[in-house]
Structure 1
Amino acid sequence: MTTPEPQSPAPQPPAAQPRDRVYRSPAGIAGGVLLLAIVVWLGTDAIVAGHGRTPWLALASLLLIVPPVVAFGLRPAVHADENRLRIRNPLRVVVLPWGQVASLRSGYSNEVVTESGAKYQLWAIPVSLRARKKAARREDRASAERAGGKTGRGGRAGRGGAFGAGQAFGGSGRAAVPDAPVRAETDKVMDDLRELLETRGQAETAQGEVTVRWAYEIAAPTLAGAVLLAVLLATG
């Protein structure tokens, strides 16, 4: 009598790797794309249809203008994962392990402060005072509606009389009032980053050194365009 061979367990699928969180400014990207399209259109037209020194001046101007437009409009981004925060600002890239981050501050700009006291601004997460004021007004209205709903449920007639509670919580077709505070979008992003810092700041894989790399790919063509334009203007 033969004994059946034990079957090996079915291979388990590999654990899903946590995805990076990428934050960018939609308004900055839209403005950068629009400005870049205008500059390239005007410059290309001058190069193709220009005469004499005009094509060279247009080329020098493109080299001078396009890299900064890309740097300030399209380049900024913030990448966050379980181990580090990668900040891509217009002129440099900063990689910060969570263990090196002391705090994330929000004032007139959003910035990260390291354990050594260095500060790096988050260009991709700009502060909108208008959005904050709008969120504050919405929070005030939501707080008032929540207070009105509680009054209606307590048995006293609110704005809806005997049906105040039903009208405040969907009886009249109105949306339910959210319990969470109303926040501006960039403030929500900073809250997410602070949560990552709190949960991953002491992790062994989130330790290391801060690295800073300057964006020579932006500075080099800009400098070349400035030099070429200066030479053309000086010899004209």
Structure 2
Amino acid sequence: MRQIVLDTETTGLSAENGDRIIEIGCVELMARKLTGNNKHFYLNPGRDSHEDALKVHGISNEFLKDKPKFAAIADELLDYLQDAEIIIHNAPFDVSFLNKELELIGRQGIKHCVAKVTDSLMMAKEMFPGKRNSLDALCDRLEVDNSGRTLHGALLDAELLADVYINLTRGQNSLMMDVGGATQTGEDLPVVDLSKFELPLLVANEQEIADHEKLLADIDKASKGKTVWRAVPA
């Protein structure tokens, strides 16, 4: 299944109260790799951004005046998203704005177009309970380079989130586009006799055991006591 990592920037925090999308960034993954088939739109929202929103994204009202309205790019966007899994950080926020834009032009909500919506924020909260799980915090924790992110931007944030998502789902350490070049197959790899290696047994010290127990307790609390390991006999 195609996966599309999506992010938006908006004039404010509430689609229901009249705020609108001003930028959409989409990054395509196939087989967990970047394809380069991305989409990026700036949009004229028909209203000014709130002052606090401007401080976040830095996209001026003047810059957006000659940009297309959402209705002009809707078909292109929906065709691109068709039947894909959409990955969004804090999905309810972005989905509410997409649904409002679609409603205003008489179209069905986004769920009628895509195969699935995955909220990477919820994934992160399950993996790192009790910790900060903003995109910047996850970049720091998962060693994703976000040094170029001084302001929020939909396409840049989608690119960062794609790398974060791969790390969250235990994939490769970073995303690289396949641009030709030789690759090794199983037949090319040398055969290693693992029986010749003596692996040392490393025993956890008291501090490591205490840290491990604390982590398990945090996960147990976050899952409301539904963790399996507490029910399995030692």
Classify the TM-score, shorter chain.
Answer: under 0.3
Tell me which structure has the larger Cα radius of gyration.
1
Instruction: Give the TM-score, by structure 2 length.
Output: 0.21
